[in-house]
Structure 1
Amino acid sequence: MGKQMANCAHPVGFYLETSFHYEVYKNIIAALQERGIPCALVISDVIQPAFVSEMVSFLKKLARPDLPILRLSTLHYQPVSLSCLVSPYYTPLIKNLAPINVRAMYGLAKDRWGHAWWNAFYDGILCYAMHTQQRVNIAGNARLVGNPRFDDWHNRRWDPSLAEMLARQKTRPVVLYAPTFGELCSLPHWAETLNRLQSEVTLLVKLHHGTQFRAEEAKSLALATRYFRKNMLPASSFSLLAAADYVITDNSGFIFDALHAGKKTILLEWAGLAPLLHNQRTLSDSHSTDQTVRQFLPCVNSLAQLRQALSDRQTWPEMEAYRWQVCDAFQDGKAGERAADVISELLNQSGVDGDHFLLHSLRERLF
């Protein structure tokens, strides 16, 4: 795909509910700016105050004068003309903010959520690979671009100092623990057990932003702080992945970050997990990607099983084909450019495409 250019007087907006969303967007923004397309950040300042405070603090440190910051609350009574809005998922808060809407995926897992009806809201969906494209495509709106966030991994744009420091001091394996949040989080069931493992491994811990900032996650955050305060380092996901020999997680989308990075990945289970996957109790179920991947990866229920998985006796599956099919169809560090091409193409379109009548008809009925 060659570079798509667009004449664009109004900025492309990028919707944020957490600073993590900036990491999802930044390589798309860079590629659009290279084409002369102005961009702006739209922060949701009507959600939980802890998330708003975290975003404001992050953006102050970011210091990007080339990226205007627009507050969602202001846009609703003082509209700013946006040519397009890019968002990670649909929320009624973003309805009618722009004539064109594009979804930039922020991760995999929780298919009952990620592949749901609201994908019809989008004129374009930027898909990592065939796995998602096949499941959300309506009249060609799902486009294959790869994972723009992982451009930094493939182009080695991350701080290697943690990996280098741990490599110099290495006497035992480095294990990265990255749990999800909510009912599917392993922290209440595994924190004490993993703490006991610290005499055998160098343990790094990466908490989900939901655990860090949602008020209802206070107990899990307190548990993590109690056992792992010294293990939670202020390093990027890619710096942590580069340092890790193994990744331990649960039902998190971080499973697929670990697989994308080629890491040996172990999944935690516990008594009571299975019922959470039935009767729509959570956003996951037995057919969701975060569950079906378990047929390939070691899953453990006890410290003894975890030690076995961390031993040299564990046979690790070859996941290369899975990475291409699910994590990133290209893995070449150019996903941001392809995403910008899709957005530019949409900006150059005029009116309703008759070939996409089904999509527009669904949108009129649903939204």
Structure 2
Amino acid sequence: MEQVINKVGFFINSPFHYYLYETTIDKLLEKGYNCDLIINDFLQFEDEWKEMYKSNLKFIESIERGDLEAYPCSLLINNSIKYLCVVSPYYFQQLALISVYNVRMVYGAGYGLEKESFNFSYWNVFFDKILNYGKYDYSRTNIYNSGVIVGNPKFDKWFNNEIDANLINKELGIDSSKKTLLYAPTYGQHSSIDEWLDRLIKVKGKYNIIIKLHHGTAHLMSEAYKKNKFISNFKIIKDDTTNTLDLLKVADLVMTDTSGLIYDSLLAKKKTIILNTRMSNNYLLKNKEANHLRKIVPSWNSDSDLLTNVEFILGENAIEHPEEESLLRDLFAFRDGCSSNRAAEAIIDTFQNPQENILRNDLKKKLKL
């Protein structure tokens, strides 16, 4: 017999997802709604992802708060337990088995990135509500009035000045006499690591360099050689257990590739560089939005002189591209520190005022979901 729990569950694969949800969970709790974390424990049976599962479990156990519990997804399924509402960053096959209502919390802006085909995929139709950053992602995911623009909840702490740069510098061991570079590449075939890491090693004596590993690079067996090279050459290496906003707070320059962190950096008003690769250069031939992004955000090719370029951009007064603010307005509708409250209100509205999604229901019947 099916049991429905009158709570909001938040599906979590990695600590990255916790930081995505954290401020929204806080707002829901303030409004009197109980919340739980739902751990994707199916990852432990996949060779490539089981290390990420172990790391995620250890991270969840380290969270010091008495108002939040965590349960494995398999436990819910095996006991026919559903949450009234489950929030997740994307669709997964067990979602229908553990929830009555489904809410997607978008986790990346996506403009001009190779990940657009994933972020804006067909599976968005299976969500009762989609929490969007701004007009750009709303126009691509809104299906039968399922979208609602809330802004970027993760950034509420940033806009409310809740991040202490002095404390972070002390914890990281930052040398105050040097500028700080944050290198945050994506993983897999679109990563800049193979083409740029040796160049970065050559300039490490002149700058504080923070390495922010993508959770793929941090945990996948196929990425182990990249991770080990970082460990052999750099002192400050952080993975998905660290909130990226903390690292952005102390960075003078952010270097990334096709990672969605490009937009976090722009939103934080940091000097930002896109590191091109042979793979991305091929992609640029076919993607006008990726080309347009690189007209707004400076990009360097792998045959360029990294030291000279870094020295130049750090010595240059901050000059915002005329189209940068327009891009940010399109991507992020709000920068007022209240996005998590809007997200919480939208989640509550999903199950308090449910709307029939005819297209969604029809597709579910056809696909037997």
TM-score by length of structure 2 reads: 0.87
Does residue 199 (structure 1) correspond to residue 195 (structure 2)? The answer is: no
Alignment match of 2:222 (pick from 202, 216, 225)? 216
Change (3 A) 1:305 1:9: closer
Question: Greater relative contact order (Cα 8 A, min sep 6): structure 1 or 2?
Answer: 1
CA distance in 1, matches of 2:22, 2:33: 14
Alignment match of 2:345 (pick from 325, 337, 341)? 341
Residue 277 of structure 1, CA deviation: 6.7
CA RMSD of aligned residues (A): 2.5
Percent of residue pairs bearing the same amino acid type: 31
For each residue in 1:26-46, what CA deviation from the matched residue of structure 2 results, as whole angstroms up to 9, or x when unmatched?
A: 111111111111111100111
Equivalences for residues 153-164 of structure 1 within 5 A: 153-161=158-166
Which residue number corresponds to residue 50 of structure 1?
Answer: 51
Does residue 32 (structure 1) correspond to residue 38 (structure 2)? The answer is: no
Residue type of the alignment partner of 1:298 = P
Greater share of strand: 2
CA distance in 2, matches of 1:43, 1:9: 16
Alignment match of 2:136 (pick from 109, 115, 131)? 131
CA distance in 2, matches of 1:310, 1:244: 15
CA distance in 2, matches of 1:227, 1:295: 32
Which residue number corresponds to residue 329 of structure 1?
Answer: 333
Residue 308 of structure 1, CA deviation: 2.8
2:184–2:261 Cα contact (<8 Å) kept: yes
1:162–1:239 Cα contact (<8 Å) kept: no
Residue 303 of structure 1, CA deviation: 4.2
TM-score by length of structure 1 reads: 0.87
SS of match in other structure, 1:95:
helix
Residue 343 of structure 1, CA deviation: 1.1
2:174–2:208 Cα contact (<8 Å) kept: no
2:191–2:257 Cα contact (<8 Å) kept: yes
For each residue in 1:302-328, what CA deviation from the matched residue of structure 2 results, as whole angstroms up to 9, or x when unmatched?
A: 3426623541358552422222211x2
1:11–1:81 Cα contact (<8 Å) kept: no
For each residue in 1:51-83, what CA deviation from the matched residue of structure 2 results, as whole angstroms up to 9, or x when unmatched?
A: 221121111110333222111111111122311
SS of match in other structure, 1:14:
strand
Equivalences for residues 177-188 of structure 1 within 5 A: 177-188=183-194
Equivalences for residues 1-367 of structure 1 within 5 A: 10-47=6-43, 48-109=49-110, 110-161=115-166, 169-228=175-234, 230-232=235-237, 236-275=243-282, 286=287, 292-301=292-301, 302-304=303-305, 307-308=308-309, 310-311=311-312, 312=315, 316-318=320-322, 319-326=324-331, 328-350=332-354, 353=356, 356-366=357-367, 367=369
Change (3 A) 1:168 1:309: closer
SS of match in other structure, 1:92:
coil
Change (3 A) 1:51 1:167: closer
1:266–1:309 Cα contact (<8 Å) kept: no
For each residue in 1:105-162, what CA deviation from the matched residue of structure 2 results, as whole angstroms up to 9, or x when unmatched?
A: 1223310000010000100000011110011111111110011111111112223225
1:10–1:82 Cα contact (<8 Å) kept: yes
1:88–1:103 Cα contact (<8 Å) kept: yes
CA distance in 1, matches of 2:258, 2:82: 39
CA distance in 2, matches of 1:330, 1:167: 34
SS of match in other structure, 1:100:
strand
Residue type of the alignment partner of 2:137 = T
2:186–2:214 Cα contact (<8 Å) kept: yes
Change (3 A) 1:139 1:233: closer
Unmatched runs of 5 consecutive residues or more in structure 2? 44-48
Unmatched runs of 5 consecutive residues or more in structure 1? 1-7, 279-284
2:5–2:83 Cα contact (<8 Å) kept: no
Residue type of the alignment partner of 1:155 = N
1:188–1:223 Cα contact (<8 Å) kept: no
The number of aligned residues is: 348
1:29–1:39 Cα contact (<8 Å) kept: yes
Change (3 A) 1:164 1:40: closer
SS of match in other structure, 1:82:
strand
